[in-house]
Amino acid sequence: MTDVYLTRHGQTIWNVEWRMQGLKNSPLTEKGIADAESLRSRLLEIPFSKCFTSPMPRAVHTAHILIGDRHVPLIIDSALAEMDLGIWEGVRAEDAKKSDPEVFYNFRNRPDLYVPVSGGESFKDVVARAAAFIKELESLPDGTAPVLAVTHCILLQAIVMICDHRDISTLRSGQEVDQTKLFHLQWDHRKWRVLIRNQ
């Protein structure tokens, strides 16, 4: 049995400004830091064996807050990086919507129909990375203590979609993912169960 606790990074400046971040970054806000500290207090009794994190600085910062002064190894895992949004990165969502309303609609509502903007990833690419991370978790030795992971909205949606055995068309609509909210997944060597969602 393997227990995995996942969360999305804390609120950032670009989140407040409704800018699309992707592989670019903006720092955590005071609220983002405070929310991560609040989540840390909820996790104190869980004896984590390791913490995986996206390489994005906003996720790494969140992971450091969650670990605090505990001696928990921090592992940077590129599979947990946010979706590459190409030329949309740093652009306000409303401007992306105005410039290409059909593509933006598909990005938000129909991931199965979304065609990446220049230089970006498809949702199939994201699901492949999420699946690779899940396989990595499945390969952990039996009896591994609980694992923590810090990632991003779309990556977490993809992970939960896979565990739920849903179609890619539901990736964006099937599960809300708020910042610094907790997901608890459990692997029993046969199937994944989602025990806690967005709490």
Is 9 marked active-site?
A: yes
Answer yes or no: are the C-beta atoms of 169 and 110 closer than 8 Å. Answer: yes
Rounded to the nearest 10 degrees, the angle between the axes of helix 57-67 and helix 30-43 is 40
Determine how many CB atoms are found less than 10 A away from the CB of residue 117: 19
The predicted pLDDT at position 1 comes to 86
CATH match of 2-84+122-196 with 3.40.50.1240: yes
Amino acid at 41: S
Residue range 160-198, pLDDT digits in tens? 999 999 999 999 999 999 999 999 999 999 999 999 999
Cα dist from 112 to 82, 89, 105, 109, whole Å: 18, 21, 12, 9
Domain assignments of the chain as residue spans, ordered by start? 2-84+122-196
Residue range 88-125, pLDDT digits in tens? 999 999 999 999 999 999 999 999 999 998 789 999 99
Q: Tokens 């999305």 — which residue?
A: 8
pTM recorded for the entire structure = 0.96
Residues 6+ away with beta carbon under 8 Å from 52: 75, 77, 80, 133, 147, 148, 149, 150
The predicted pLDDT at position 119 comes to 83
Q: Which of 30, 64, 82, 189 is catalytic?
A: 82
Pairing relationship of beta strands 74-76 and 50-53 according to DSSP bridges: parallel
Q: Which of 9, 61, 121, 152 is catalytic?
A: 9
